[in-house]
Amino acid sequence: MQAHGAARCSAAPFAIAALVVVIAWTACRAPVVAPLGASGAHRGANVLLITVDTLRRDRVGAFNGPSGLTPALDGLAASGARYTQAFTTAPLTLPAHASILTGLEPRHHGIRNNTSFQLRGTTPTLASLLQKAGYRTGAFVGAFVLDGRFGLSAGFDIYDDRLPRDQRRSFEFARRRGGEVVKLAADWILDPARAPGPWFAWIHLFDPHAPYDAPPPYRDQWPAYDAGVAYTDAMIGELLTRLRADRALDDTLTIVTADHGESLGEHGEATHGLFAYDATLAVPLLISAPWVKAAVVDAPVTHTDLVPTILDIIGAPPLEHGDGLSLVHAVPLDRPIFFEALDASITRGWAPLQGVVQNRWKFIDLPEPELYDLSADPHEQHNRAGSDPRQASLARMLPPIAVAAPSGSALDRDATQRLRSLGYVGGVAPARRVTVADDPKRLVALNEAFNDALTAFDAGRRSTALDGFLAVLRERPDFDAARTSAATVLADAGRDREAVALLRDGLARHESPELLAKLGATLRDAGDLPASADAYTRARQLGDQNPDALNDLATVLAQLHRVDEARALFKELLARDPKASTTWFNLGLLDLQSRDPHNASDALRRAVTLDPGYGDAWNALGASLAGDDRGAAIDAWKRAERLLPRDYDLLFNLATSMAEGPSPRDALPYLQRFVREAPAERYAADISRVRQTIAKLERAGG
């Protein structure tokens, strides 16, 4: 039986295919029957939460999507509860997932975009609450935007966010395929050595996200975006098949949703994050379990409902402070759903966007306000603002927008680079009064031009990227992210003076910490260390607490032999975030520079423990150990060599150290690879020496 609007509304019923469906008119206040069972009836049930990045609701077959695109999700929908009016709290990955995992709206959990905030350590999460209830907890994420440093790792026994390290700016190196993620998750769930008791697993799949590069055969069968959806659905299907075969779903609550959708050109937006139309705001939501009744639920629900629903089903204590409702109980049809999209306001100074949906009417609060009747106008083409009395009542519901100062504590240099590779550019715009000219509707073409330039830069088309960034700046000289991006292109091309001039021109317009930090980086790379230190210091004086800039300042101070100041900065950063592997690495390098290998090795061990894939840290650890423990140094260099196979200085150190050790013939494969692969123009003398060593070892071996 399908659950639809309850029968106490004033609207008259009518029959469709022998099912009685009651239409919930605007005036209806009756709740919708929930199909999830009674509160606390399934204590100790396992919890499987799957979040699919960038999945439009209308791409799932169960929500009138294309036939055959999502058979695994359609199968879940056929036997579970399907929520047709589910919405995200924000069309960005990190704020949306923070709401999914805390039950709080962004204004309460504090994360307002992907680049500038970190979840407070005191905020309860679903994982921390279930961990206290005796669950083992594991998370497996597909992209760096959900790296543990952003605070969502709280309460997880294992938070698997291991991604390949690469300094190239390319989409593919900031994420991993869904197949890898679901395998890791299933291995953890089904681990034969697992502790007894219930489990909670969160799986994040990133594949529908731009640049839409699904593997074959999906890319050959579907349009680019749909191919990523089809691949993700297939991976979910493989996961569910494996878990069912082990009977791991017999007592498991399974929830699948998306963090947000994708515009695909609607309203002029190619991807997501700028607007909050239903192309990005509407999400699929499926809840399945052996005890859940098959149902279609038309009540308005949101991501903040997931935590209270899960806690209610398994009989755990409810959230003390939350914004959501438990879907175990009937949900009022006239419930307001709040949302926001503040990234462009935070990073560019454009008008902040927030809004509310109630009774199928949507109000978007902007300098040019928008009002849509979603029942009659589902694609939001006819703005009713100024002509309908509902506007005033919806507007009065909205709270004042108050954005706390970004914590900055989440981002170090590595985080900044990896987020940029996903198309996210941070920074904080100067505060000022916005006008109609700052409404994102008037700036959407500029937004797309900026994103196109980022894509060109990531694809190696630097000239095209530079032209694009400069065109944006001619229209909006205050677009700091475009200015810093243009400076990056110039500096990468060796045009340091032009990059410095461009940044100083921006600083003449307004003294921005972001521009000062970028100026510091550009001057550092150009070799002007004193001026670089001055720029970074000024940025810090203006309130820039981003670890990217503070790490850079400390590194520059170390190069200027201002070692005590550099060490104090590194210690300050570690006091804020003891899990910052890059900071431990930099501190280790500083100790190596100061001829303190013992403290250096301690710091570098911390770096590789926090991030076992940190090849540069393994390399430096080997250097710190070489004087006292050759065997340990060789072990570290072997780890580094697997991660950095084209670092020929590292390969030389490893090979020659092994050749001088107790088992010199073990060095032959490394020595031979050095001779075969190292660039002769740089390593001619070393290649000659290595050849002599190879000959000596071969003679000794008979």
Predicted confidence (pLDDT) per residue in 11-36, tens digit: 333 232 322 222 232 334 456 667 99
Do 253 and 128 fall into the same domain? Answer: yes
Q: Report residue 653's pLDDT band, with 50, 70 and 90 as the boundaries.
A: very high
The model carries a pTM of 0.81
Residues making up the chain, counted from first to last? 702
What is the pLDDT, as a whole number, of residue 369? Answer: 98
Give the mean model confidence (pLDDT) for residues 77-83.
96
Q: Is residue 365 part of a domain?
A: no
Tokens of 571: 């210690």
pLDDT for 15: 30
Q: What would the pLDDT profile of 244-253 be if each residue is shown by its tens digit? A: 999 999 999 9
Q: Are residues 322 and 439 in the same domain?
A: no
Residues 142 and 257 in one domain: yes
**Is 591 within the bounds of a domain?**
no
Clarify whether residues 128 and 250 are in a common domain. Answer: yes
> What gap in Å lies between CA 580 and CA 586, rounded to an integer?
10
Which is more confidently placed, 368 or 14?
A: 368
Does the residue 456 lie in any domain?
yes
The fraction of the chain above a pLDDT of 70, given in percent, is: 89
How many structural domains compose the chain? 2
59 inside domain:
yes
Q: Which residues pair with 257 in a beta bridge?
A: 51, 285
pLDDT tens digits for range 149-178: 788 999 999 999 887 655 443 334 468 999
pLDDT at 413: 52
Q: Cis link prior to 399 (omega < 30° from 0)?
A: no
Is residue 443 helix, strand or coil? helix
Provide mean pLDDT across the span 64-86: 97
Give the model confidence (pLDDT) of 611-640 as tens digits.
Answer: 888 999 999 999 999 999 999 999 999 999
Mean pLDDT, range 383-411, rounded to an integer: 81
Residue 148 lies in a domain: yes
- One domain, residues 309 and 439: no
Q: Residue 415 above 90 pLDDT?
A: no
pLDDT confidence of residue 322:
94
Lowest mean pLDDT among 202-211, 216-225, 416-425: 416-425
Q: What is the C-alpha to C-alpha distance for residues 21 and 207, in angstroms, rounded to an integer?
A: 37
Span 202-214, average pLDDT: 95
Taking CA atoms, 456 is separated from 337, 461, 486, 489, in Å, by: 37, 5, 12, 11
In the predicted model, is pLDDT for residue 335 greater than 60? yes
Q: Which contiguous run of DSSP H or E holds residue 419? A: helix 413-421
Q: Using an 8 Å Cβ cutoff, are 615 and 165 in contact?
A: yes
DSSP 231: H
The reply to whether 541 falls in a domain is: yes
Please check whether residue 258 lies inside any domain of the structure. yes
Domain hosting 232: range is 34-331
Please tell me whether residues 460 and 311 are part of one structural domain.
no
pLDDT at 142 over 50: yes
Statement to judge: residues 319 and 434 lie in one domain? no
Residue-level pLDDT at 418: 56
Q: Is the dihedral of CA 639, 644, 650, 655 positive or negative?
A: positive
Q: Among 297, 331, 365, which residue terminates a domain?
A: 331
Residues 161, 291, single domain; the answer is yes
Query: What is the C-alpha separation between 428 and 94, in angstroms, rounded?
Result: 17
Q: Is residue 536 part of a domain?
A: yes
Q: Quick one: 264 and 126 in the same domain?
A: yes
CATH number of the domain that 78 lies in? 3.40.720.10
pLDDT for position 17: 31
What is the model's pLDDT at position 431?
A: 60
Domain stops at, among 579, 612, 637: 579
CATH number, domain containing residue 450:
1.25.40.10
Mean per-residue pLDDT over the chain, rounded: 89
- Tokens matching residue 107: 């204004």
Domain end position, chosen among 579, 613, 633: 579
- 3-state DSSP call for residue 94? helix
